[in-house]
Amino acid sequence: MCANRSIITPDSMSAVDSLSGYFAAGYRTAMSTFSMSPNRLGDKGIVHHLQLSPLVSFLLIGFITVSIVALSNLAFQMTFMSTFKNWQRPKAQGKWSWIMGNLIQMQKGNPGDIQMEWTEKFGGAVIYRGLAGNERLLLSDPRALMYVLHQRCYAFPKPSGARSALSNLLGEGVLTTEGDVHKRQRKIVNPTFTQSAIRDFLPLFWRHSRALAKHLQTSMEEERNAKMQNKTQERLSMAHELSPAYINDETINQNDVKLLDDKMKMNDQATVPSIVDVLHWTSRTTLDVIGESAFSYKLNSLQRGENGDVIADSFNKMMTHVGQLTLLERAQLHFEQFSIFDGIRPLPTSFNKRARACYDAVESVAQKMLKERREGTAPPETEKDVLERVLRANEDSSVKQSQRLMPHEIMGQLTTLILAGHETTSTALTWVLYELAMHPSIQESVRKEILEAQQINEQEGKEDLSYEELHALPMLNNVTNEVMRLNPPVHSTNREAAEDDIIPLKYPIKGEHGQTIDQIPVRKGQAIIVHIATYNRRKDLWGPDADQFRPDRWENLPSKVLQSGVPGHSLSFLAGPRNCVGQKFALTEFKAILSTLLAAFSFAPPPGTTKIDSKQVIVTRPRIRGMESQGTQMPLCVTPLQ
């Protein structure tokens, strides 16, 4: 089997020894710069011996170490180690490229833009350089993706640094574990998200969808009332300017008032619908849904003023901060992927503090709920929530004791669901409202389909669409599939080769000298980027309009997409044993909220020349071009239909 084929030669083993020497020399040089011996560092750590703040100390040591190693590492890889010596590759640009590789280029434009450009030029497997010249393999070839994600899933785990960073935020759930631990957890968690289970959650989805529509309506009415009060004051002020000073409000000249009324009517006709940040509302709604469905906990994050709960408050503060990370914090996130910097993760940066506060808030509530279940004091409505289902599956007599989840693993499933599950659905809802606002004819078509289905439902004496009825709406299905393809909430995920391997390609690429490359030898430790957004937009697969929002493409998909082997055809929920466990949950929640909003409101683009860009903030959130300092947001013109 190719999976066991070694690609390490005697020459390359010698190169490994030499490279290790380079790293060791660089590390010793960096340490001696501060007159510190490696032995002392082993006792108490770098930060203890530097009279600087922990983060600055770490970054200074990291910069010196990486700087010394970078050039030798780069030259050594290109001469001895690289299995990609004859590959075409994007040229790193800028004076810091010798340290940063292509990373600075990747920060420009919207997330995924540069990766799409590289893929169109070089094909579905691209080698680029990361920090200190290390080579990273960017994949969007369908066969390569299925090999990494499905066929050999556990041979390509998340990098240890990335897992540790995620664990700090999410705990030890299905998103952060690997190998046998992940298999054991999925076996327990999978029954929680069956079609039968999702049917039980659907009434909850409808209830929260209506709550969102009601809160949105109330907010818009309050805004309009405030505007009317301002107009009344403006009218009286203008009347006083036109009338003699001694005339009071009751005796204002009626002709003047008529002139003012005419002017105000003209102004009213020019008044645009309410401008609403739909991201604000969708994020809070999906958080409420997750809180109640996970462990029957009412977060009340839709409430005005304070967010209504410590979990909602801590999460929203964290997400706001993630969108405004400082240069030092961004550097930390890059460095922490390397094992040499394992000790920096507990550093008290603002992001780490907020992330930990968020996790602690969720864990505190979850622990309380878990205690109630074990003591038998939980209320009856908890019988069908995620926590109860996980507990039942975990304690089932058919599950061996060795295969059951530990208490901290149960907590990990809940924190993962709450902190990761709600934001992805919220982001997808935000982008679909934007796309429908930009395509009013499509918006009207899907609204008509929803209203007709609701009318039939009402005639039959039913309040809400059933699971089958909701998922049987063709236009709604097409719109859902298309926005998930075009605007995946997460644009990429990282993997690492656990052993030497050979990754096959469906579409061969050309090497530096024109040679055909139809498979990729990778060594243990090779960094791999599974680029979801790039695969979903490849024009050679999806057609020349792949970067456009066109839901009807799902009625007749291109043959290359149908033959790709990717389940569901787009990669937005990943694939294989590590695909999104809550996919059905998320899609059903998404459709329930979207159909409720479209039945109650119309959506139009933001006013003027407002341009919406995207920013990777754990998920791919929208922001206004030129107003980046205001954080992520999605302002749309919203008009009530009733």
Write the single-letter amino acid at 235. Answer: R
pLDDT at 505 over 80: yes
Listed residue (474, 447, 478, 629) closest to 553, CA to CA: 478
Write the DSSP string, 90-120: PPP-STTHHHHTTHHHHTSSSTTHHHHHHHH
Burial class of residue 412 (count of CB atoms within 10 Å of its CB; 0-12, 13-18, 19+): buried
Write the single-letter amino acid at 416. Answer: T
385 three-state secondary structure: coil
| CA dist list (Å): 131 to 190, 208, 499 | 38, 45, 22
Please give the radius of gyration of the chain, using alpha carbons only, rounded to the nearest integer: 28
H helices present in 6-53, as ranges: 10-33, 38-44, 46-49
Q: What percent of the chain has pLDDT over 70?
A: 73
pLDDT at 266 over 80: no
CA 214 to chain centre: 27
pLDDT at 200 over 50: yes
> According to the model, what pLDDT value does residue 578 have?
95
pLDDT digits (tens, 9 = 90+) for 374-416: 787 777 777 889 999 999 999 999 999 999 999 889 989 988 8
pLDDT at 329 over 50: yes
242 three-state secondary structure: helix
The residue assigned the tokens 């599974």 is 530
Q: Mean pLDDT over residues 184-190, rounded?
A: 96
Of all helices (H) and strands (E), which one includes residue 128? strand 125-129
Q: What percent of the chain has pLDDT over 90?
A: 49
Instruction: Output the average pLDDT for the chain.
Output: 81
Judge whether 441 and 425 are in contact, CB under 8 Å.
Answer: no
Among 272-281, 324-333, 375-384, 390-399, where is mean pLDDT lowest? 324-333
Among 2-6, 278-282, 573-577, where is mean pLDDT lowest? 2-6
Of all helices (H) and strands (E), which one includes residue 622? strand 619-624
The total number of residues written for the chain in this structure: 642
The residue assigned the tokens 């083993």 is 13
CA 322 to chain centre: 12
Strand partners for 496: 527
pLDDT digits (tens, 9 = 90+) for 9-61: 434 434 434 444 434 444 444 444 434 443 434 444 444 444 455 556 666 66
pTM to 2 decimal places: 0.81
Residue 605 per-residue DSSP state:
P
Two structure tokens written together for 453: 């289905």
The rounded distance, in Å, linking the Cα atoms of 174 and 192 is: 13
Q: Which residues contact 425 (CB under 8 A, 6 or more apart)?
A: 282, 286, 489, 586, 589, 590
513 three-state secondary structure: coil
Judge whether 592 and 206 are in contact, CB under 8 Å.
Answer: yes
pLDDT digits (tens, 9 = 90+) for 529-548: 999 999 999 999 999 999 99
Judge whether 112 and 531 are in contact, CB under 8 Å.
Answer: yes
Task: List, edge to edge, every strand of the sheet that includes 135-139.
Answer: 125-129, 135-139, 527-531, 492-496
> According to the model, what pLDDT value does residue 111 have?
87
Write the single-letter amino acid at 462. Answer: K
The rounded distance, in Å, linking the Cα atoms of 636 and 192 is: 36
The rounded distance, in Å, linking the Cα atoms of 471 and 408 is: 35
pLDDT digits (tens, 9 = 90+) for 237-259: 655 554 444 334 444 445 544 54
- What are the structural domain ranges in the chain? 192-222+274-480+593-640
pLDDT digits (tens, 9 = 90+) for 511-535: 999 999 999 999 999 999 999 999 9
Q: Which residues contact 339 (CB under 8 A, 6 or more apart)?
A: 160, 161
458 three-state secondary structure: helix
pLDDT at 428 over 80: yes
Can you list the positions of beta strands (E) in 462-590?
A: 492-496, 501-510, 516-522, 527-531
Q: Which residues contact 616 (CB under 8 A, 6 or more apart)?
A: 111, 491
The residue assigned the tokens 């004819």 is 441
2: annotated binding-site residue? Answer: no
Q: Mean pLDDT over residues 220-234, rounded?
A: 71
How far the first Cα of the chain sits from its last, in Å, is 64
Can you list the positions of beta strands (E) in 499-585?
A: 501-510, 516-522, 527-531
152 phi and psi angles, rounded to 5 deg = -125, 40
Task: Please give the torsion angle defined by the CA atoms of residues 424, 426, 428 and 430, in that order, rounded to the nearest 10 degrees.
Answer: -150
Write the single-letter amino acid at 15. Answer: A
Half-sphere exposure of 111 (CA within 13 A, CB side): 21
The rounded distance, in Å, linking the Cα atoms of 179 and 191 is: 20
498 phi and psi angles, rounded to 5 deg = -80, -15
The rounded distance, in Å, linking the Cα atoms of 326 and 324 is: 6
Question: What CATH architecture applies to the domain 192-222+274-480+593-640?
Answer: Orthogonal Bundle (1.10)
Q: Mean pLDDT over residues 254-270, rounded?
A: 46
Two structure tokens written together for 331: 């550097």
Judge whether 590 and 487 are in contact, CB under 8 Å.
Answer: no
Judge whether 599 and 451 are in contact, CB under 8 Å.
Answer: yes
Residue 235: band (very low, low, confident or very high) from pLDDT cuts 50, 70, 90: low
The rounded distance, in Å, linking the Cα atoms of 593 and 479 is: 14
> According to the model, what pLDDT value does residue 493 have?
94
**Higher-scoring residue by pLDDT: 169, 506:** 506
Residue 353: band (very low, low, confident or very high) from pLDDT cuts 50, 70, 90: confident
| CA dist list (Å): 554 to 59, 550, 561 | 48, 8, 10
pLDDT at 354 over 80: no
pLDDT at 286 over 90: yes
Most confident of 88-92, 451-455, 626-630: 451-455
Q: Mean pLDDT over residues 556-572, rounded?
A: 95
